[in-house]
A and B are shown apart, each in its own frame.
Chain A
Amino acid sequence: MTKYQPVIGLEIHAVLETRSKMFDDAPVVDSTHGAPNIAVSPVSAGMPGVLPVINQRAVEYALRVALALDCEIALTSIFERKSYFYPDLPKGYQISQYQHPLARNGELTIHTSQGEQVVRIRRVHIEEDTGKLTHVEEDGENYSLVDLNRAGVPLLEIVTEPDLHSVEAVRAYAYGLRAVLRYLGVNSGNLEKGLLRIEPNISLRPKGSEEMGTRTEIKNLNSFRTLERALSYEIERQTEVLNSGGDIRQQTLGWNEAEQVTVPQRSKEEAEDYRYFPEPDLPPLVLEQSWVDEIRAGLPELPYTKQQRFVQQYQLKQGRAALLVEDQAVAEFFEAAMGAAQDIEARLVANWITGDLFSHMNDSGEDIEDLKLKPANLGTLVQLVSSGEINQPTAKGVLAEMLGSGRSPAEIIEEHGLGQISDTGQIEAMVSEVLAANPDELAEYHAGKEQLAQWFFGQVMRTAQGQANPQLLRMELERQLSESKQ
């Protein structure tokens, strides 16, 4: 049992997926593949004499996020120059926000095994992205290449207070924030493509203490998995250091995937002095209250709210509800399926979606909106199983066909004669037939081999081509077996 509590804050950069860049009209492209340097203007190249102009949609997207996170919006905020020299930073400064950010003091609620937790958001601000560096080593030459496709893309920086105390909580927050961004249509949440970048900072302190320990930060984590692994490792590492009486060195770390350890990034001789000052090329960003109100009014029901509503309204477990709300389209599909049929158990619909549908989508690469299967038909299918018209195994087959063809369950069942046999007369006849055809096994059963009941069950089911109502079959089989004892 560790005596230390992890204290973790997250700094997340989310690309605001606009069509043009933050401060100029160069197009935004996927900078992780495709030709380099084809989406650069004189402004995003930092050429002499050019000037920035703010992208309106980027501001709108930023506001959506800040409002969704319940932040206090600064109707006047200021852009500042953050100066440092690096080959992927064309102007030698990044236009960002510092003293007067767009938004502060927000929150995001998460749910973990410890229950509900409110994670405080310290600030949300707008800035521009840098270009990309690639290292090349060949023919004895050693050099780097600069691609400016990404330079100038709008970024939103979202910083939490150090309110997270476990890897589970970090995971919940990261997924939760990603879901919010996707619901708002501002970011598709792809870590691998660098559209969402998560940088945790982490320190330990003795349980019960309020003091902050020395923290490290971890950069360049390009998947949720590496985020979790790196954090787990770093917690362990810091624990060992402290347990052996050592001190934590404040440093920036990266994750070595091959060795599965955190490693210090090349140490910079001194902490950067960014020499922030207000951007003289950009007058203040002033927002009309009416615009802010309009955006707030237009926000969709957000993931966590929807999750709690699903738990209440549909009696789903938190975990299952969380899975359904992660993608807004899935949540909508679920509710449409529920709405299409009467008196069906939400749990069953949820299971179909998170089980068979997700599995199919993983294989086919489809999004839920692309499925040929319509939500109403799923609802109907569940209803058919609940009412006993078909059994579960049959339903799976029907589902597979619906996914392939988009036809309704009724059509498919009709066509293949898949209706579950629930007629007691038919079942009675089938059981009789099987018992009569297998006298030796019947004798063995009566002699004490009770497990043969299951074998008989399977045989009848096979005769029924899998369509016998299992509960009725079991009851009838028991009845006939006991009666045949005489």
Chain B
Amino acid sequence: MSLTLDEVKHIAHLARLELSAEELELYRQQLSSILDHVAQLDELDTADVEPLTSVLAEQSELRVDEPGQALPLDKLLGNAPDTDRDQFKVPPILD
């Protein structure tokens, strides 16, 4: 499975990763090689197999609707790179 450079750029965009030209080419090769290895999964007939979406638990346990403690502002914002007016500050979002 050989990925094209355009495909790799598209994936990098979907994943919001800024990659250099060298990185793009390196990943292109490495991902292609990994996907080649992964292709052996096609050998198996899985038509009647249920995907293993939940490893062991058969159902979710539900939580009673009781509000708990919210994080105090200093804990919530304490790791933030930039804040203003008790909110996370980011570059302008215009859409």
Contacts and interface: CB of A to CB of B under 8 A. Distances in A.
B8 to A, nearest CB: 15
A144 B90 contact: yes
A58 B89 CA distance: 31
A42 B84 contact: no
Interface string A289-305: 00000000000000000
Interface in B58-81: 58-71, 73, 76-77
Sort chain B's interface into a size bin. 20 to 34
Contacts of A58: 65
Contacts of B14: 273, 275
B76 A145 contact: no
Contacts of B86: 35-37
A74 interface: no
Interface stretch (A23-31, A176-184, A330-338): A23-31
A273 B11 CA distance: 11
Given A142-B92, A283-B60, A20 B68 contact: yes
B65 A145 contact: no
Interface stretch (A49-57, A396-404, A413-421, A431-439): A49-57
B82 to A, nearest CB: 9
A134 B18 CA distance: 27
A146 interface: yes
A284 interface: yes
Interface string A5-27: 00000000000001110000111
A37 B76 contact: yes
Contact of B68 (A26, A38, A59, A283): A26
Contacts of A213: none
Contact of B70 (A39, A134, A147, A285): A39
B87 interface: yes
Nearest to A80: B53
Nearest to A56: B62
A19 B63 CA distance: 12
Nearest to A278: B53
B63 A283 contact: no
Count chain B CB atoms within 10 A of each CB in A41, A145, A275, A280 and give the residue with the most.
A145
B84 A143 contact: yes
A27 B61 CA distance: 20
- 7 tightest A-B CB contacts, nearest first: A266-B95, A57-B65, A286-B59, A27-B67, A25-B68, A56-B62, A145-B87
23 contacts: A19-B67, A20-B63, A20-B67, A26-B67, A27-B67, A37-B76, A37-B86, A38-B70, A45-B76, A54-B62, A55-B62, A57-B64, A86-B93, A137-B92, A143-B92, A144-B91, A144-B92, A147-B87, A148-B76, A280-B54, A283-B54, A283-B58, A283-B60
